[in-house]
Every structure is written in C-alpha cells, then in structure tokens.
Structure 1
Amino acid sequence: MSINELLPKGLNVLWVDFLANGARLANSEYRKEMVRKAKESGVTHLVVDAKIPYGHTTYPSRYALHVGDWSDNRFQEWRGKDFLREIIREARGADLKIFANVDVFAEGTKKTRDGLAFEKKEWQVAYINPESSKLSAYAEDHDDDTIFVNPIHPEVVNHQLSILEEIVSGYDIDGIVLDRCRYPNVHADFSELSRSGFEAYIGQQVEQWPADILEPGPGGRRDEIKWGKWFPKWTEWRALNIKKFVQQARTVVKTAREDCLFGIYVGSWYPLYYQEGVNWASESYRTDLPWASADYHRSAYADELEFIMTGCYYPEVTVEEAALNERPASWYSVEGAINMSLEAINNKIPVIASLYLHDYNRNPEQFAKAVHMCRERTHGVMLFDAIYLEMYGWWDELHPLLQRT
C-alpha cells in the first residue's frame, strides 16, 4: 500500500489539548463554536485527549482515574461526564474526522499528587539523580511535573493496552495517536527490573551500575553526560522496549477495529531522541550518530505505524533562518525538521509536520510561512494547540492558509 493510500495528502489537523481547553469545553455552546470555527477554517481532523499526561481519562474508564475527580477540582464540571463522547458528537455533526490521543507512560502529577503512580509506586521509573548521581526510586525529575512509569513493567503494559482497547472498542474515532510513548529522559529507567532486563539482553552482568551505562554531568548538566561502555547498547535496548509496546498497541487497536488508523506524535529532533529511548525512524534508515549501536536500526518503529506527526517546533521556518540565528544545526527550523523527518521515515508512511503556535506569537506572517512549509512538504500540518487560535485571534488568519493549495 502506498503512503497516499494509507492517508491522503492535505490533512489539516488541529490538536485540542484537554488541559488547556477542557474547562472551557464543558460549556456546550463554546464546544459547538470551537468545532464550527475549526470546520469553517478548513480543519479536517481534530486530535482530542482520551488520556491526559497525568494518567486520567476524559471518559469514564474501567481502568483509569477520571479527570473530573482530580483533587484540585480543576475539571469538576466534567465529573461523571464523558468529554470524549461529547466532542466526538460535535465533530461528527461538522463532518470532521477525529483522532483520540493517549498519553501512554504518564500516570501522575507531582503538584497535586494525583494519579495511579502514587497508588502503585512500583510502577514508577527510577532515575539517576542528576545532582547526586544516586538512584532515586521516586520520580524526582525536577524539570517535569509528570510522573512516568516503567515501559517494561508488565502491569504498566497491561494497563495501557486495556485503555487502548477500551477506547477503540467503545468510541467512534478515526484513529489513535500515542503520545509520551517513551521514557521521560536519559536519566531513567534504572530500576532493578530494568537492570535485570538489560543484563539478560546483553547476556552478562553490568559490573558498575549505573556508571557503565552513564554518569550525569557535573551539577546535573545533561549536555555533559559521560557515556559508559554499555551506553550504545543501552539506547538500543530502551528503544526496542518502546518498539515492542508499539507493536502490542497496534495489535490491540487493529484487533478491536481494523479501520482505526494507528499513529504517533514525536518530536522531530531525531539526533536527540535517544534520550527518550525512542527510535521513531523506519527500520530501513541507518544513522551514524555517536550514541547509536551497529544494530540500532532494529529498534525503529515507523514501519508499525500508519502515520506519524513530528513536532517541528521552531520559530525559524527556513534552514537559512536557523543559520542566521546561529542555531546548532539546520534541523532547528521547520524546514530542517521536515527534512530530518522525511529522511528518517524514508518514505514508508505519511509524515504530518506539526507546529507549536506559541512560537509565532505576534508574528502571523511567520506563522503563515510555517503552515505553508508543512503543507507543501508533508502530508499536511498539525497545529498545537487550539487555545492559541483563541488567544491570538487567529481563526480568521487560519482560513486562507488551510484553503491554499
């Protein structure tokens, strides 16, 4: 099947993040108005959250906590209600297609201490604390409020697969998008479960754990991490763990409903994405980056997907702009990120270039250039997020951009 048969070109995708929009969308009139504006602007698909970054679902689940039961009452107006079904109903009425987003290995928030990760602490990833180089059994990564869980813990895997089956079987959606289907960063997971799994993979014990894998830089600097002798093999193993889950997730989705499309969102910065334990390229792609093992291509998962959205999240649109602004590499631009995405995917599946609208605040001309670049070079554009169209008053700006051929 050709990539155009998998998904036609010209997709205009609008992401509707629940954390940013959920409170407003409890108002049925606002919900209808947003969907109407999206349709009239030329949007073809909405991405809506079925499971948010803290593990809560936006619909009543047999397995997960509901957003309406969050302890700070942020979304109390949704208590006992089904956001996913409501937004699907509105989208169908406007003849919009809809993808359900599932934030996978994210199961808690430190700010309010909500989430299953607090009930099931054995699920949590273990970090090397970048300040002390000691292992931390509790998710103390100070850069992120999200509590991540271990992608190889059997209970974690079963939990995520059950939620996917529940969504695909119970809701009239056109596709699933996985997000946060990854490790949190390069400092995790260093649990005993991961140690035993990795040692089984390499067929021997790691003598100095975790120093033979990596050591944090002085003062916790991530750009000065010292790689141990097993680091390339470690990156391969972590990425294989994520690939295995993606394969399992695809089987669950396709068994529940063959016609439900299966895709993923990732950041476009492939040369750095090993830090999250993900190889989102095609298995046919080869890289000579210094952290990659000779067999790293075996961990690539793009061939398991039917589409991929890559975050081309840069204010610079062209490669020339990135050079003028002394960016470290050409892929620190929308154009360069698209080039990187297309190279790594190797024409195996549709690529939808994605924009972070906040990058273009007070600069609608640059926003227009970025949208045009995405639509011209890839299968379409994904806009993150709907809240910025409201904040910047850009609904009218959007219409001519998405109508342009």
Structure 2
Amino acid sequence: MNELLPKGMNVLWVDFLANGVRLADPEYRKKMVRQAKESGITHLVVDAKIPYGHTTYPSRYALHVGGWSDGRFQAWADKDFLREMIYEARAVDLKIFANVDVFAEGTKKTRDGLAFEKKEWQVVYVNSESSNLSAYSENHDDDTVFVNPIHPEVVSHQLSILEEIVSAYDIDGIVLDRCRYPNVHADFSERSKISFESYIGQQIEQWPADILEPGSGGMRDQIKRGKWFPQWTEWRALNIKKFVQQAKSVVKSTRSDCLFGIYVGSWYPLYYQEGVNWASESYRADLPWTSTDYHRSAYADELEFIMTGCYYPEVTVEEASANQRPASWYSVEGAINMSLEAINNRIPVIASLYLNDYDNNSQQFGKAVRMCRERTHGVMLFDAVYLESYGWWQELKPLLQRS
C-alpha cells in the first residue's frame, strides 16, 4: 500500500456553502481552526470550487462565489477564502487539502454558473415521464447542474482550474468531489451517443432504449436495462477514469509533492449509477450490471488516498440488520468492509461520516468515529457546521486523541 499518508488521520471537511458566511469573520475563522487543532484534527478539507462551479478564490477561469446573484456570499467579494483558510491552518500546524467539485457548473435556483453561459456543456437526461431526452439538474429537486465529462471544453476547464490551484496555493493535497455523472439518467447527448457507438463498434438501433428505459413517476429510479447497458456502464466509468488520469497528471506535473485523492460514496454496488468505478483494477465485482471488462474502468490505483462516505446512522452490521436495511453495507461497519474489499489494500482508505446522521445521539457518533479510526486509515467528518451547531467540539477531543 502507498504509505504517503500517516495512519490515524483525523480530517475535518469545511464546506463553503454551510460555513462561508460565518467564516467571513476573521475571529470566527481563527477560532474554528484552533478548535479543530485542539480537538485532534490533523487535516482540513476546504472548498476551492463549490458544487455550482464557483471558486472560493479569484480565478482566471471560473466565476467567484462573491459574485453570486443572490448576494449570499457578498462578504467574500474580492477576497480569497482558500488563502485565508490556508493561513489559519498553517498557523496551528494543520495540513490542508483543497476540494474541487468537478463536473458541477451551475445552480438551477438562481441560474448562476458557466453551465448557463455554455448550455452545450450541460448533460442531457432521459426524461422519466416520456422516455424522451431532456435536460434538468441532478434530480428534479436538486439545485446542481452537471456538465458532460467528455465534452473537451469541460475537461479543459476543469484541468485549468486544478493547475491554477496547485501552482498558486500552499496546499498539501487535492481532493476531487463530484468527479462523476449526476445519476444513471445522464448523459444521453448526441456527443455521448457517437462516442459510445465508436466504443462498441456499431450503431445503436433503439436510442436510448437499448441502453436503458427509466421508470415513471415515483418509480423513476427503477430502470429497465437494455442490451448494451453493461458496456454503457463500463464506457461511462472509463470516461471518468480517463479524466482522473488527466487530473493526476496535471497535479503531479505542477507539484509532485501535492497528494492526489478523491471523495466517493461507499455504496459501491450502486455507484455505477454515477458512472464511477472507484475500486482497484485488481477487484472483480460480481454484480448484475457489470461487464466482463468492467475492472478496466477502475481508478483507485491512480490515487494516493480515497475518502469513502460511510453515511449511515447504523454503525454496526448488526444494527443495519435489526433495522431491516437491505444489505450489510447500509452501516458504517458494512460500508468500511465494502470499501476495503473494493480497494483491495492498494491505497489508504479514510472512512467518512455525515454528522447529521447522529443528531441528538452523541453516543452513536462516538461509536462511529471509533469504528472508522480502528478499521481504516482515519476518519473524515462532514461537516464542521455540525460540530458547531451540536456543540460537539468537546465530545470530539477524547475520540480523536485515543490511540
């Protein structure tokens, strides 16, 4: 296993959307970072590019969060959140990773973002009611607008931002998030059709039915798989792997000491829906949707670490069973087992928790933290806002400082 990262990492994610307003206050910013250090946090993840495509620093390529039309982050206009957070982290000797939300470039509510200036970038979805093709955001009630991972302008844009961050900022690593398709219903653009037909060496007779047909109404996610669905799943995952390889090349050629990692959800048996195979190539998944060569699309071997979201209120496999969860991996323990199996000991796995799952249950929170620290390379906590609102800074300290 690659051991560039020390075991026992305690990572705190600082989401800009949740924390940006309060962190505009220099005193609050300093206090939060110092609380993190005193509690045993070793690494911060801070947003450099948020899920709507805006950067938190002045970019030559992207829109800045301070110019958001609803004025929510006006306090950051002409300021550099990323640099300010790096300054505070270095003051208390914390490592810092910059997070980049990759293929998300717009917000539906305010219609801000490059996805609206460059509509040809947007992914095209299969409409769940008519099976025709239409464009909308990630889910009907979601605000994020995704762009097509194989559009050359999209790829160039994301790589330029990565190079810009790594060359200009004193960070210890890059984390990619939303480096994926939004869901199983995208992308069904003409560009993707032509590319896929080239991949399989023949034309699709019934598009998109030979790939998939979505359910309707409340059954939208219960798709009917067409004859080319396994190859389609493989092709989409290969597209994401290709981008990951390109991103790694940019990061490492710019600064070889900058660590390169990714955040994904731990629910591997369902992650084909996002077009991602985050396992090691050495892993062979035995699942209904896999093709014979699906393992070729795996990208974990390109990474130096991976954070997998073990986002469940149930901590143990026994709890998941008692609550009639559909599988053992619907628990922190089961999700860790799934993650370790798919990664196959090739790179460090950092189990990640969604703190909102433990609202009013600090005992269960402590149990989850201990599980992550005992079984994997460390723990990632999402997000800082919950430590503040739940008053859990003191709860955290003994959990993270145990050997």
Q: Is the pair's TM-score, using the shorter chain for normalization, greater than 0.5?
A: yes
- For residues 112-146 of structure 1, what are the alpha-carbon distances to aligned partners after superposition, in whole Å with 9 as ceiling and x for unaligned? 00000000000000000112211014547413210
Q: Percent identity?
A: 85
Amino acid at match of 1:104: V
**In 2 relative to 1, CA 101–140 (structure 1 residues): closer, same or farther, beyond 3 Å?**
closer
1 CA distance for matches of 2:141 and 2:274? 14
Match of 1:372 among 370, 373, 384: 370
Shift of residue 391 of structure 1?
0.5
SS at match of 2:36: helix
Give the Cα separation in 1 of the matches to 2:201 and 2:155.
24
State yes or no: 1:238 paired with 2:245: no
Equivalent runs, 1:167-182 vs 2, <5 Å: 167-182=165-180
Task: Output the amino acid matched with 2:78.
Answer: G
Query: What is the aligned counterpart of 2:81 among 67, 80, 83?
Result: 83
1:153-192 equivalence runs, <5 A: 153-192=151-190
Q: Return the TM-score normalized by structure 2.
A: 0.99
What is the CA deviation profile of residues 265-304 of structure 1, one whole-angstrom value per residue up to 9, with x for unaligned ones? 0000000000000000000000110000000000000000
Contact 1:250 1:304 in 2 (8 A): yes
CA deviation after TM superposition for structure 1 residue 220, in Å = 5.4
Establish whether residue 122 from structure 1 lines up as the match of residue 114 from structure 2. no
Alpha-carbon distance, 1:223 to partner: 4.1
What is the aligned counterpart of 1:247 among 232, 245, 248? 245
2:257 is the counterpart of 1:264 = no
Could you say what secondary structure the match of 1:107 adopts?
Answer: strand
Letter in 2 for 1:383: L
Gaps of 5+ in 1: none
2:249 is aligned with what amino acid? T
Residue aligning to 1:401: 399
Deviations 1:233-266 (A, max 9, x none): 0000000000000000000000000000000000
* Equivalent residue, structure 2, for 1:332: 330
Alignment of 1:182-331 (within 5 A): 182-219=180-217, 221-331=219-329
Q: Distance in 1 between matches of 2:373 and 2:222?
A: 37
SS in 2 for 1:6: coil
How far, CA to CA, are the matches of 2:355 and 2:305 in structure 1?
A: 22
Deviation at 1:10, TM superposition (A): 0.3
Report the equivalent of 2:350: 352
Name the structure 2 match of 1:45.
43
User: CA 1:284 to 1:360, structure 2 compared with 1: closer, same or farther past 3 Å?
Assistant: same
Q: What's the secondary structure of 2:314's corresponding residue?
A: coil
The whole-number CA distance in structure 1 between the counterparts of 2:218 and 2:238 is 27
Give CA deviations for 1:156-209 in whole Å, capped at 9, x if unaligned. Answer: 000000000000000000000000000000000000000000000000000000
Task: Letter of the 1:45 partner, please give it.
Answer: H
Mapped to 2, the partners of 1:164 and 1:116 lie a distance apart of: 17
**Alpha-carbon distance between aligned partners in 2 of 1:235 and 1:297, rounded to the nearest angstrom:** 11
Rounded Cα–Cα distance in structure 2 between residues aligned with 1:239 and 1:100: 24
The question of whether the paired residues in 1 share the 8 Å contact of 2:106 and 2:115 is answered with: yes
Q: Secondary structure at the match of 2:366?
A: helix
8 Å contact 1:179–1:264 — kept in the other structure? yes
| RMSD, aligned CA | 0.8
Q: Does the Cα contact within 8 Å between 2:137 and 2:143 map onto a contact in 1?
A: no
Could you tell me how far apart the structure 2 residues matched to 1:138 and 1:384 are? 27
The residue matched to 1:336 in structure 2 has which SS? helix
The 1-side partners of 2:124 and 2:328 are apart by: 34
Which of 123-132 and 158-167 deviates more? Answer: 123-132
Q: Distance in 1 between matches of 2:375 and 2:220?
A: 33
Q: Encode CA deviations 1:4-61: one digit per residue, 9 max, x unaligned.
A: x221100000000000000000000000000010000000000000000000000000
Helix, strand or coil: the match of 2:380? strand
Equivalence for 1:103: 101
Equivalent residues of 2:138, 2:182 under 8 A apart: no
| Residue number in structure 2 paired with 1:112 | 110
CA contact (8 A) 1:316 1:332 kept: yes
**Does the 8 A contact of 1:175 with 1:263 survive in 2?**
yes
TM-score, L = length of structure 1: 0.98
Unaligned runs of 5+ in 2: none
Q: What is the alpha-carbon distance in structure 2 between the residues aligned to residue 57 and residue 63 of structure 1?
A: 9
Question: Aligned in 2, Cα 1:137/1:366: closer, same or farther, shift over 3 Å?
Answer: closer
Q: Secondary structure at the residue paired with 2:336?
A: helix
Query: Partner residue of 1:149?
Result: 147
Q: Which of the numbers 12, 15, 21 marks the counterpart of 1:17?
A: 15
User: How far apart are the structure 1 equivalents of 2:174 and 2:220?
Assistant: 33
